[in-house]
Structure 1
Amino acid sequence: MIAIYARQSVDKKDSISVEGQIDLCRNECHGQEPRVYSDKGFSGKNTERPAFQRMMTAVRRGEIEKIIVYRLDRISRSITDFGAIWETLKEHGAEFVSISEKFDTSTPVGRAMVYIIMVFAQLERETIAERVQDNYFQRSKRGAWGGGPAAFGWDLVRMEIGGKKATTLAPNKDMELVKEIFHRYAYTDTSLGKIAAWLTEIGVSGIRRKTWDNVSIARILHNPSYVRADADIYYYY
């Protein structure tokens, strides 16, 4: 049995859809009807994908003799993960074909190409992650918000910082509650559970649901956005 595997993490204008990947891979089946596995909305940085896991289970059962993908990074973006996948395929006699990179692991050159391409795929992923981290650092350095949703008690606002428009944090009406949470935890004989019960009792909606719990209070107490950015805080976090 031939299997086609397709994956797309997010819809983008410049990326090929799951359906498009499957159509292109069918051309490599040479008249055979393949078994199709697809994961939409899943990253390739790990193998925690439902359709992928079902496909690998079928490989271990000896049901699949060849896997066809549109591009190598559709099956994995990690050298370590792909190494484990490749060992499983070899152990159970399954071949691997990528139609974009034009290689087939049934040949020695194809097997060598797999490892070479995976090295550069991981390099690209790590370079992107490094650029994102540098971008967060530069935003924070000039007083802008690094990214993501604002914590309880903050609103995201647009303002001019250093001559440029940027998103930063501004306290809202809930900031007084945040101060009270810190005060109660630091200066009274109370617990996370008691603070959560107090907020629920006075009718304050939780961050993700109506009621509060120990975890949501602990997240507030450990969130660095509520404290002054000095050397002590830098080394603490």
Structure 2
Amino acid sequence: MNVFFHLPSETGAQPLQIEVNRLVIAGWTGRDAHAIEHHIGELEAIGVPRPSAVPLFYRVASNQLTQADSVQVVGDGTSGEVEPFLFFHGGEFFVSIASDHTDRPLETHSVALSKQICPKPVARHAWRLAEVLNHWDTLVLRSWIEEDGESRLYQEGTLAALRPPADLLARFSAAGNPPPAEGFAMACGTVGAIGGIRPSASFRMELFDPRLGRSIVHAYRCQALPVIA
């Protein structure tokens, strides 16, 4: 799946194209056991069974990636989660953001299928990982949903809550996976939902860098297709 990014540079946005051929969704990536338990509890509240181990690494078809402003989903029970999005290109890692959009009713039967069935929106801008690695923990993840016609803060937290890239990639390799190569991409986990996980017709997400005073943002709307029995 080809995705296109703009990288900041002194001469303006620099275009970058990558063909993602291996997409991984990392789950349960928190550093704090209590925070992980909180997120597991959020999902248990909507019927999702506890994971067999933490973290877990789910393979998802790369053609599920999209940079569109609108996505189609089946039914009205899906929701997004903002996550750091690492990808490997030209011998180095870059970071952007993606939404691990998930079918919540299906998640009660199979987490892997619930992730596979939904598109994975990704932003159109990225940064070199080397530019933010030294202050990675200060980066802020946020998302907003639409409720009662208003935009409401849905998620907010720093990346200090999640395992850093090197740790996460080491655990990925230790689980028997081949090392990252050209076209590898990973969504790296999320922070808890404020007020609990719930669906929304729109989702807006941000990765904010307070040190360098910049953000990566993306928003999309969901079109719910009818569930035909």
Same-fold status (TM-score > 0.5):
no
Question: Which structure's CA Rg is the greater one?
Answer: 1
Structure ranking higher in helix proportion: 1
TM-score, with length taken from structure 1: 0.23
Higher strand content, 1 or 2: 2
Structure having greater relative contact order (Cα 8 Å, sep ≥ 6): 2
